[in-house]
Amino acid sequence: MQRYPSTTALRAFEAIARLGSVSAAAVELNLTRSAVSHQLNMLEDLLGFALTKREGRGLVLTLKGERYALETKRALSILLDAARGNDGEEMIGKLTVSCAPGLANYWLCHQLADFIKKFPKLSLKIVSPSFPGDISNDDVDLFIAYGNGNWPEKYVKQLITIRLFPVCSPQYFHQKGGLGKPADLVKMRLFHLMDHTDWRVWLAANGVANTQLESGIVFSDANFVQSAVIAGQGLAIGDNMVSGDALAKGLLIRPFEKSIVSPRAYYLAASPEKAERKEVQAFIEWLESLISDAQSRYERKK
């Protein structure tokens, strides 16, 4: 049976041929360098001949590679034109998205009516990961994961930069008669997400360095953190996505205005093959549109 090269491999090779390096192709395609190299190696194995060769410290096309690059560009252009010709067709099929529970509960689930309105015939399934940052579920088409974005061999794209700031309930704030200075917070009941990193980074940015934060409770999920804080049990580090709705409703307040950029962020992750599916691309474009609107509102309120 004839095996055909994947469009992911063809796109990787076309980008290498056009840009002249694996690194540049990886940046353009939002893939790691190793993922692009892997796609090139798979394509060469399938074809049975080398497409590139080393020349000094650089990479150049072989004679067969130059010919194949022209045919690859022509084939991808045909596929792109065919896709544009189907823009008016309704999106159908199934799409499974894994989302960090806190983001799903406090933001994504509030937006889904808009997606359903745009794509009424697309069957959407939302699941949660087994643990924070888990992107191992083969049944998932697209992951919205919280972490550092270090997932080799995957299509990875940062969805949004997270800004961190302390939050508490109005009741807790009034019970304490205000919260004083940032240095006073280390004596209060602090809640943590995954580890103590967010509090340490925010406190250091506010002149409170080398703090010992062994007290308080560490939660594995933002749902638990926010529920405890809304219930007036203590303080936590909130962010511009998960905490936005509770802040707008007055369930939470920001006792200190200064925010910092989180060392972690929300990323989109998928296998290179699944990332090319039109259902996945449609969901990504919809998400990015929502994020753009949310960021604009956040900037106006700052």
> What residue segments make up the domains of the chain, in order of their start?
7-85, 93-159+265-301, 162-262
Give the range among 26-30, 79-83, 115-119 with minimum mean pLDDT. Answer: 79-83
Measured distance CA(15)–CA(28) in Å, rounded: 8
Please check whether the two domains, 93-159+265-301 and 162-262, share a CATH topology: yes
For residues 109-121, give the mean pLDDT: 91
Q: What is the pLDDT of residues 56-87, one digit of tens each?
A: 777 899 999 999 998 898 888 777 655 544 44
Q: What pLDDT does 286 receive?
A: 92
Q: What pLDDT does 294 receive?
A: 63
94 versus 300: which is more confidently predicted? 94
Q: What is the pLDDT of residues 201-255, one digit of tens each?
A: 999 999 988 777 767 899 988 899 999 999 999 999 999 889 988 999 999 999 9
Q: What pLDDT does 141 receive?
A: 96
Q: What is the pLDDT of residues 178-208, one digit of tens each?
A: 888 999 898 899 999 988 889 999 999 999 8
Q: What pLDDT does 55 receive?
A: 83
CATH number of 93-159+265-301: 3.40.190.10
Q: Which candidate, 68, 77, 146, 51, places its Cα nearest to that of 107?
A: 146
Measured distance CA(72)–CA(86) in Å, rounded: 22
Q: What pLDDT does 133 receive?
A: 85
Percent of the chain residues past pLDDT 70, beyond the cut: 92
pLDDT at 300 over 80: no
The domain 162-262 having CATH identifier 3.40.140.10: the answer here is no
Would you identify the CATH topology of the domain 7-85? Arc Repressor Mutant, subunit A (1.10.10)
Amino acid in the structure at residue 16: I
